Structure 1
């Protein structure tokens, strides 16, 4: 099953947006290294986030130009916005780590970032394949599995930071970071759900 004919540039635009998001998640992963220069990485990630905004703008401009898209305009808006929202969360998570001067992160944070990295890779691989929606079933199933995995890690992290191991101020800082990471993971599931809905509409 193939999507309706339309301007193929949209596939390229979504692919570029997803690849840029993947680059942003990799910078976040680098920031977890013990010797990472997080301040420098924040600057790098802000540049990537600005590039993401440009990709989103290009998609919106194209869809509003009268060019025939390959699927419903509302779905294009939602998909472009979903990718942009994830990158915003990724950038915010690292920014808070720096602004809060968080040095030592609970082990589970690395596990959540690993989920983000895997989800970003799957999403970047999926975008060029929007042309053939039938091939994407494994993509959204795996994203859903990763989101469930991250949910369990998120709950364990909350339990740990509220266990008394950390002082109240540190709890507040860590909770903000962890909740933003959880939002980013949820964002990947939202994007996968949009892709699934696109496939169902075009079947």
Structure 2
């Protein structure tokens, strides 16, 4: 199955955006190391987020300029926006960790970030295959499985932070971080759903 012909630059831009997102998730992973200087990681992640914005703007500019597109313009907008939204959540999660001055994270947070890391790798690997939509079924199935895995971890995390171990203010801070990480995982699933819809339209 081959997607309709079009300007191949879009495939390169989506691949670059996904690789940039993967870089952002890896910085977030670094922030969970016991000796991590989270404040020092914030500028790095902000630079990656700004690069992501540029990828998104470049894609949108090319579509709006009337460039030939490899698939429907609305799908291009949605895919670009979906990747950008995940990166925004990743950047916001680290920002909150620093702004809230959270010293120790519940162990389950590392499990959610590990899901994000695996989803980022899968997404970066999938984007070049948009050219032919070849073997993408395994991609969106695995992303869905990872999202289900993260849902279970999310529920356990909520139960843990409301167990009475933490004071009320710390619960509020941790809940904000956990929810935005969950939003990032959901964002990866939305990106995979968009890819599936693109492939099924061909």
**Runs of 5+ consecutive residues of structure 1 not aligned to the other structure:** none
Give the Cα separation in 2 of the matches to 1:124 and 1:200: 20
Pairwise CA RMSD of aligned residues?
0.5
Counterparts of residues 25-44 of structure 1 (less than 5 Å): 25-44=25-44
Q: CA deviation at 1:134?
A: 3.6
Match of 1:178 in 2: 178
TM norm structure 2: 0.99
Match of 1:98 in 2: 98
Q: Runs (4+) of structure 1 moved beyond 2 Å? A: none
Give the Cα separation in 1 of the matches to 2:42 and 2:171: 22
Give the Cα separation in 1 of the matches to 2:42 and 2:109: 17
Q: CA deviation at 1:145?
A: 0.2
Q: Secondary structure at the match of 2:71?
A: coil
TM norm structure 1: 0.99
Give the Cα separation in 2 of the matches to 1:37 and 1:164: 28
Match of 2:74 in 1: 74
> Does 1:53 find its partner at 2:53?
yes
Give the Cα separation in 1 of the matches to 2:199 and 2:15: 17
Match of 1:167 in 2: 167
Counterparts of residues 1-203 of structure 1 (less than 5 Å): 1-202=1-202
Give the Cα separation in 2 of the matches to 1:197 and 1:152: 26
Say whether the 8 Å CA contact 1:6–1:70 is kept in structure 2: yes
Give the Cα separation in 1 of the matches to 2:133 and 2:55: 22
C-alpha offsets along residues 170-191 of structure 1, whole Å, 9 cap, x if unaligned? 0000000000000000000000
Give the Cα separation in 2 of the matches to 1:77 and 1:114: 28
C-alpha offsets along residues 146-177 of structure 1, whole Å, 9 cap, x if unaligned? 00000000000000000101000000000000
Q: CA deviation at 1:18?
A: 0.2
Q: CA deviation at 1:135?
A: 1.5
